[in-house]
Each structure stands twice: as structure tokens, then as C-alpha cells.
Amino acid sequence: MMRESNGTGVRNFSSKETSQRGRLARVALLSATLSLAITGTVMAHGRHAPPKTSAPQVAAPKVASKQDSGTGPRWLAGDHHIHSRYSVGLDTTTTPPTPILGADAVYPITTNASMARRFGLSWMVATDHGGPNHSKINHDYAYPELLQSRAAVPEVIQFFGIELNTPAADHSSVVIPYGPDEAQRLRDIESKFDSREVFPRSEARNQESAMISALEFMNQQTPKPVLFAHHPSRSATGMGEYGLTTPQEFRNWNDVAPQVAIGMEGAPGHQASSLSRPKLGLATPSDAEAREYGRGAYNKTPTMGGFDQMTAQVGGLWDSLLGEGRRWWITATSDSHVHYSEGGIDFWPGEYSKTYVFADKTPESIISGLRAGKIFVTTGDLISELDVSVKAVGANATATMGGTLASKVGDDIEVTIRFKDDKGPTPQGINPLVSRVDLIRGEVTGPVADKAATKNPTTRVEARFTSSAWTQVGDQTVITYRIKNVTKNEYLRIRGTNTTELEPQPDPKGEDPWTDLWFYSNPIFISVK
Ligand SMILES: [Zn+2]
Ligand SMILES: [Zn+2]
């Protein structure tokens, strides 16, 4: 059988061993472990009834769940890029291709939500994708299962979304705000604009102009969705090179819909390839094959400390965008398809990567917090809170992540960094410790003339802090630092690591992802008058 998947290419990689047997094995897995009754795996464009589901038999947490149950704004961990079995494979021997349930990603949405709860997430987004007519699969199958999952796992806010086959670019998340019309809104977006929705494929749907139309469409909705670019350098062929997704596209998207196109994955998912343990006979890579994948399935040019080169290089593309004053935020996700213990290259949602947003635990507040850049990200549960505030010495006004401090020429700026690691050991029995925190500083010089610009030469590491420079105040670690005499518009951002690398180094294949952990804040802007 000819099959294709538009996920990681993992299944493409092993297509020669993909067989009816492999497909049946996967269905057997679902049936055995999740008590699913699936009458047929081939969905045949909606002619079959959706599979009946019962509550998945997910193992009880071995660690106490850390979901926040209080009220008021606080740091809420989440993941906006999670696949379920409705990320279908395709049998391309039929015309049009026939979607195959569970052939790209395998788990029911409820399983993903249960795992999100287990690993301490307060919110998640279901982001399935597929080929021709996938908007119907999302609408008719994934959405009803999402509603079941919301009822079954009420501790986790669960948004409906999609991994958009982005016109003229690599994938992106579209996150739909909660609402009675959320399913129809997503169907409208996917059916009108997903570049692989029609068969045969349409070149017209794969032009940047189509993406601009998509963003204009989303920008007119109330409330507006948000969109994050996925694994932006996965297709890049070298350092400083860009693949399917380019700097020009980010600028054009953000220009046309600055409240919708708001950022990118700083750290992509698929970080568990070196841990992959095929043991269930699935049509997934062999042990050796999986370990040939770089972190993030970045096989052409590696990630750096698990982060995309666009984010990880100081003075690189992210800093170039921030140097224009763009509100362009970074996130970290699982891209969960198949867990590493079951032959995949993925962690569960929240198991390794977390996107924290400062918000009330309501869908509306989480979307607002994401849009406002009140976001920090970490891998490996290095930290669980990160508060950064800046104020001019002698003044009262403060600004925090995503915000802007108004100051005067000549002001001294006091920066206070507080972080917290109260999580204890991870489920793997690891309790990584922060070895260093860096304060990064760059100038905001306004829009660039060349939309392909990829550098901000003013950005540098302003200061590096190790334990001798910080104090423990209660359960928080506190660092203070003074920047003298600000004269220009600028921004500050923070990163930290458990390594001794001064800058994140390209990740070798086979690297244990738990040994090379980083956290990143989003920026605070300083506007000088
Ligand atoms: Zn993707
Ligand atoms: Zn994905």
C-alpha cells in the first residue's frame, strides 16, 4: 500500500515496512490499551460512523498532578501542538486518497488530555491535520471526541485547533477561542485555506497570497484565533538558511494580522528520538532508525539546545523581529504523535516541553495571555515559574513579560528576575537544576527595509548569572541587575540552562534530551522618551 503522512516524515521513512499488518497492529494497540471499539480503520470520507470511544484506561499518575486550582492570574502550563488519531494517514492507491485513522498519530484526544493532566498542563490544543477533505474529519470526528474529552478531563482546558498545512510555508497551529461556533469556524478556515484540503492539490492554495487571505479571514473573526508557526527551521538546509518558512513570511503575516500571527515554536516537538523504544510492532521506525532523527526531527540542520536556530542564535532571526518592535512570541510544544515508549519519537503533552502563560484559568484569559506575550517556555521542567520585571530607578511603573516600560532618556533600569523550581523529580526521576541565567539585551530600531533580514547586530548577552549572583527568597530564586543610562528603545529577554554551554550548541544526533535543557522568557520592551 502506498501511504503518506504529512507529520514528521517518520512514517514516510519507514514506508517500505508499512503494511496492512502494521496498520492492524496499530488498531490492535488502540483496542487493547484503550478499550476502543473500532469497527473500521478506513474512514472513507465520512461514510462510516465515527468510532465509539469509552474512557481511556490511562495509568494513574505516578506523581502528583500540578494543575493549578486557585484563582487569579498565575503561570499555567500548556501545549498548543498535539496530534490525535484524527491526524490520519492516506492510502494513495485510491482516488481521492483514503484517510486511515490512527496512521499518522495514534491516540484518542481523551488520552492526550489525560496525559496532559498527568504531566501538569492546565491547557492544551488539539491540532490534527491531514490531506484531502480533512476539514470534515476534524469537524465530524475530532470535535465530538474533543467534547467528550473536555467532560472526561475537566482539569485541562482543551481548545479546538488545527495544524494548518500553511500555504507556501511549513505547518502552523491555529487555536480557536472557545465558543458555540468553534467547530464551524475551524471547518471554515481549514476547508478554505489548508493547502492540502483539495484533491488533486491546487497550486493556487499553496501561494503566500492564500496565506494572507487566510489571515485576513481569521482577523475578521470575533474573537480572533491565534496562530503559531511550527518547527520553522526543520526544512532549513543549513545554519542561517531557511526552508519552507521564511523571515519574509513571518513579517508579512504579522503585518496583515498582528493579533493572529503572533509567534513561532521556539522549541519544536519530537524531542524523544534518542529514547525511542519500539516494542509494539508498530509501523514506526526501528530503534536504530529513530535514533537517526535529530531532536525535533530536524535532520538537515540541528536544533540548538533543543531550540530552533531562529530562536537560539543571539542576534538571529527572532532578535531581528524583536528589533523591529514586533510582538512575536515563542512557545514550546510536544507535537505528540506516538510516544517514544511505543515506537515514536515524542514525549506526552507536558512531559518534556511546557509553554507557560500568565493567565486566569479560563479559555478567554489564556488566549489573551498568549496574544499579549505573557509566555515563558521550558524543557525538562527546569523551572515552573519565571517572573521578570523592569522599572526605572526612582519610578513606580513596572513592566513584565510581553509588556512595555515607558522610561526617560538617562534612566537607570532595575531588572528583577525570579524563578522557581518546585516540581521535584520528573516522572523519570530527574530533577534538573538551573546552572546559569542569561540576560539578553537588544535595540529596537524599527521596521527593516529588507523583509528577508535575519540579524539584529545590537543584540548581545548583557549579563550571565550563576548561583553566586542569586539569592533564595522563600521558594523563589531572585536575581537583580541594574542597567545604567538607557538612551535607546530596546528589549530585554531571559534564558537559562542546566548546561555549561555559554551559547546553545548544535545538538548531535542521539543526544539525551534531558541533559541539555533551556528555558526562555519572552521579551520586555523599554520605550525611551
Ligand atoms: Zn508539523
Ligand atoms: Zn505537528
Distance 2 CA to ligand 2 centre (A): 21
Distance 340 CA to ligand 1 centre (A): 17
Q: How far apart are CA 158 and CA 152, in angstroms?
A: 11
SS3 330: strand
Listed residue (452, 520, 511, 439) closest to 479, CA to CA: 439
Distance 7 CA to ligand 2 centre (A): 6
Distance 369 CA to ligand 2 centre (A): 23
Neighbours of ion ligand 1 (CB under 5 A): 171, 230
For residue 398, CA distances in Å to 72, 416, 524 come to 19, 10, 10
CA angle 384–386–388, rounded 5-degree value = 175
Residue 369 makes CB contacts below 8 A (sequence gap 6+) with 73, 357, 358, 359, 375
Distance 81 CA to ligand 2 centre (A): 6
Distance 322 CA to ligand 1 centre (A): 24
Question: Which of the pair, 150 or 67, is modelled with greater confidence?
Answer: 150
Distance 447 CA to ligand 2 centre (A): 31
- For 2, phi and psi rounded to 5 degrees? -85, 130
Distance 192 CA to ligand 2 centre (A): 20
Distance 332 CA to ligand 1 centre (A): 13
Distance 87 CA to ligand 2 centre (A): 9
Q: Which ligand is nearest to the CA of 245?
A: 1
- The predicted structure's pLDDT at residue 68: 61
Distance 171 CA to ligand 1 centre (A): 5
pLDDT at 35 over 50: no
How is the chain split into domains, by residue range? 13-47+79-379, 385-528
Q: Which ligand is nearest to the CA of 269?
A: 2
For residue 369, CA distances in Å to 73, 145, 330, 361, 490 come to 10, 26, 13, 11, 22
Q: Tens digit of pLDDT for each residue in 445-496?
A: 999 999 999 999 999 999 999 999 999 999 999 999 999 999 999 999 999 9
Instruction: Give 234's Cβ-side CA count (13 Å radius).
Output: 25
- The predicted structure's pLDDT at residue 67: 56
Distance 449 CA to ligand 2 centre (A): 33
Q: In whole angstroms, what separates CA 417 from the centre of its chain? A: 24
Q: How far apart are CA 312 and CA 295, in angstroms?
A: 14
**Residue 528 per-residue DSSP state:** E
Mean pLDDT (whole number) for 35-62:
35
Distance 333 CA to ligand 1 centre (A): 11
Q: Which ligand is nearest to the CA of 6?
A: 1
Q: Tens digit of pLDDT for each residue in 247-259?
A: 999 999 999 999 9
**Residue 61 per-residue DSSP state:** P
As a whole number of Å, the CA-based R_g of the chain is: 22
pLDDT at 271 over 60: yes
Secondary structure (DSSP) of 444-470? -----S-TT----TT-EEEEEE-GGG-
Secondary structure (DSSP) of 242-278? --SS-HHHHHHHHHH-TTTEEEEEEE-S---GGG---
Q: How far apart are CA 335 and CA 87, in angstroms?
A: 11
Distance 158 CA to ligand 2 centre (A): 17
Cell output for 421: 523550581
For residue 289, name the pLDDT band (cuts at 50, 70, 90): low
- For 110, phi and psi rounded to 5 degrees? -65, -35
For residue 12, name the pLDDT band (cuts at 50, 70, 90): very low
CATH 1.10.10.10 is the classification of domain 13-47+79-379: no
Across the chain, what does the average pLDDT equal? 87
Q: Which long-range contacts (CB under 8 A, 24 or more apart) does 212-215 make?
A: 212/252, 212/253, 212/256, 214/164, 214/167, 214/189, 215/253, 215/256, 215/257, 215/260, 215/261
Q: Is 365 left (phi over 0), alpha (psi -120 to 50) or beta?
A: alpha
Distance 73 CA to ligand 1 centre (A): 31
Task: Tell which CATH classification among 3.20.20, 2.60.40, 3.10.310, 3.30.780 matches the domain 385-528.
Answer: 2.60.40
Q: Which ligand is nearest to the CA of 346?
A: 2
Distance 465 CA to ligand 2 centre (A): 35
Distance 104 CA to ligand 1 centre (A): 11
